[in-house]
Amino acid sequence: MAVYENLVIGLDNATLRINRALRDLAAEAAKSREVSTIFKNNLPDQVAAQLEETEAGCEFLGKFNEFLLEFGERETNMGLGGIGSPTWQDSPEVVLGIIKAMLDEDPDEFRAREKERARKARETKEMVSSRLSKGIYSIINANKFFQKLVRHARSFAAFRENSHYDVTRSLHVFRILFAELGNRMTRLGLIIDPKDIYYLTYFEIKEILLIIFHGLEEVNVRELHARIMSRKDEQVRRMARWSMRSQPAGDSEVIRGVPASQGLIKGTARIIKDPGDFHRVRKGDILVAPYTNPAWTPLFTTAAGLLVETGGAASHAAIIAREYGIPAVMGVVRATEIFSDGEVISVNGTTGVIQRA
């Protein structure tokens, strides 16, 4: 597994580029005592208002807004999925929370880790290539096949991240449109909450708009509300069924998951169930989450390890964990309930074993 991981890391992708830009923002904040103090002494949803009160803060906010303009289409959580998931532009306090968590990072230490991973990738590729150039392997030209295989494997990892980013960028355009439709339908008294629009299909929304446009009949508001409530209830039941999946015994000292990124780490479990809690992650913590998506990965430069209830070795979290060189175990059902926030645990990303200290 270690050989595989060293072979597939090192190819740049959209997620890594965005995380670098975010890390640069955090470095800017850390350079200003005034700005960093505001971050440290306030909750994420209070930071922007406090920054506006100072000259240094306004300068930082200018750079922050430029970042959101370029990368703000990132979704914050899985939520309803698709256009129903709020973005960084919708919830800038989530990004400010990530920056708050990243303030204690040492840029030099991170660059040194990047160089070390690049060295391992290069040496592993040279080692395997050398072995395949000898004996019977050289006769069947195994090295040529190996080089091609590695290129495809690395390209897949980059494509996985780049395609996700491109799709979410395009979905953001539709989110703006449907969010405004939700606001207008709420003002007309057709739905109770603007977010209720995400429980309707495209064709149902189109039918409502045609009724409004032509004015030949009334929208059946009672039936519409009942349909939305039924789908909300089904969403709750679906999530309940998901949470009741089979799980390992909660009182066991040893729990297993899917090994996703090599290494062994011992640290404090930090249970993060919602992007609003990103600011709680501290350097050296082991991030324990019900799921992750690319918008969560900036935390991987702060966390020392990763433990996720869902996903596998090819998930976004696993790919970026390998790039950042932190141990990761995926597919640990109900990990956020088995472990307690602040509990000391060890995570073995090579074997998939998690142990209480």
Domain ranges for the chain, please list them: 171-243, 254-356
Contact 153, 8 (CB under 8 A): yes
pLDDT reported for residue 308: 93
Is the pLDDT at 251 greater than 60? The verdict is no
What per-residue confidence (pLDDT) applies to 304?
A: 93
pLDDT greater than 50 at residue 249? no
310 dihedral zone (left: phi>0; alpha: psi -120 to 50; beta): beta
Calculate the dihedral angle through the C-alpha atoms of 28, 270, 72, 21, rounding to the nearest 10 degrees. 30
Separation between Cα atoms, residue 138 and residue 122, nearest integer Å: 21
Percent of the chain scoring above 70 in pLDDT: 95
Helices (H), 132-141: 135-139
Higher pLDDT, 291 or 208: 208
Here the tokens at position 283 are: 């350097």
pLDDT band of residue 79 (cuts 50, 70, 90) is very low
> Whole-prediction pTM value?
0.82
Tell me the C-alpha distance between 132 and 136, whole Å.
8
Residue 255's φ and ψ, nearest 5 degrees, are -125, 145
Q: What distance in Å separates the CA atoms of residue 302 and residue 286, rounded to the nearest whole number?
A: 9
Tokens (6 digits) for 184: 């207008």
Instruction: Determine contact, residues 286/267, Cβ cutoff 8 Å.
Output: yes
Neighbours of 57 (CB within 10 A): 22
Q: What is the predicted pLDDT for the residue at 81?
A: 59
Give the relative orientation of helices 92-102 and 44-51 as an angle to the nearest 10 degrees.
Answer: 90
Which of 42-46, 154-158, 201-205, 269-273 is predicted with the least confidence, judged by mean pLDDT? 154-158
What per-residue confidence (pLDDT) applies to 153? 81
**CA distance linking residue 227 with residue 220, whole number of Å:** 11
**pLDDT score of 258 more than 70:** yes
Residue 71 parent element (H or E): helix 55-71
Q: How confident is the model at residue 238 (pLDDT cuts 50, 70, 90)?
A: confident
- The CATH number of 254-356, from 3.50.30.10, 2.60.40.3880, 3.10.20.30, 2.60.120.260, is 3.50.30.10
The answer to whether the CB of 11 falls within 8 A of the CB of 155 is yes
CA dist., res. 300 & res. 125, Å (int): 25
Residues 82-131 have pLDDT tens digits of 788 889 999 999 999 999 999 987 777 777 877 887 888 888 888 888 88
What mean pLDDT is predicted for residues 330-336? 90
Report DSSP state, residue 340.
P
Strand stretches in 210-257, DSSP E: 254-256
Rg of the chain over CA atoms, in angstroms?
Answer: 23
Taking Cα atoms as reference points, which of 235, 238, 178, 236 lies closest to residue 204? 178
